[in-house]
Amino acid sequence: MSTVKTMLDGTTVIPVLAFTEVAPTLRMIERMLGAGLKVIELTRRSDVARETLREAKKAFGAEAIVGMGTILNPTQLQESIDDGADFGVSPGLTPDLLGAIKASGLPFLPGTSTVSEAMTASAAGFDVLKFFPAGQSGGPGYLKAMGAVLPDVMICPTGGVSETNAKDYLALPNVICVGASALSAPASADTFDADGFATLLKAFARPA
């Protein structure tokens, strides 16, 4: 679990991809790799999620760090490991899932939304926590207050993070990066606007 912080070194945004078809997802991953992004999160929100993960690892190998999100239980965790996930992500954390994560050794980003949950996850050995749903759980103001009492707990806010507020999160010292589905929007078009994507990506850079 301690490798998550190292894995995210230099990363300011994890694109969260929730497509319902394999091919568009692979095209989007290729575009993101070309733009300099390396850490990608898929989600288990569609029937093709597992196939997409397998195909992504087959196509891009070590070039991309591809994780599986929306993992809810030990069975889904094991399936993600079997499919080649480089890391896992959950919206929350249960005792059963925690035990399975520890036994597996898979780098993992557990979901939390309160100070108590953050304290529990940090005490369990996680060095980076997902803050979800970020927008509905208090946003940058909440994380700023959390940082005052838990300065060593690093956070990846996800949920409601967009080009309009990403820098508000990234300006906080306890935010290591953000997770956002907004970066996948160009994939819905028939043609990919590379310049538009590059402009969008700048909104997810850490403020100087």
Active site residues per annotation: 41, 130
Rounded to a whole number of angstroms, the distance between the first and last alpha carbons of the chain is 30
Name the 3-class secondary structure at 180: strand
23 contact partners, CB below 8 Å, separation of at least 6: none
3-state secondary structure of 160: coil
How would you classify the pairing of strands 111-112 and 87-89? unpaired
Tokens describing residue 57:
């690892």
Nearest to 131 by CA among 1, 14, 6: 14
Q: Tally Cβ neighbours within 10 Å of residue 31.
A: 18
List, in order, residues 6 or more apart from 92 with CB less than 8 Å away.
Answer: 110, 111, 112, 113, 117, 132
Question: Which of 77, 70, 75 is CA-nearest to residue 106?
Answer: 77
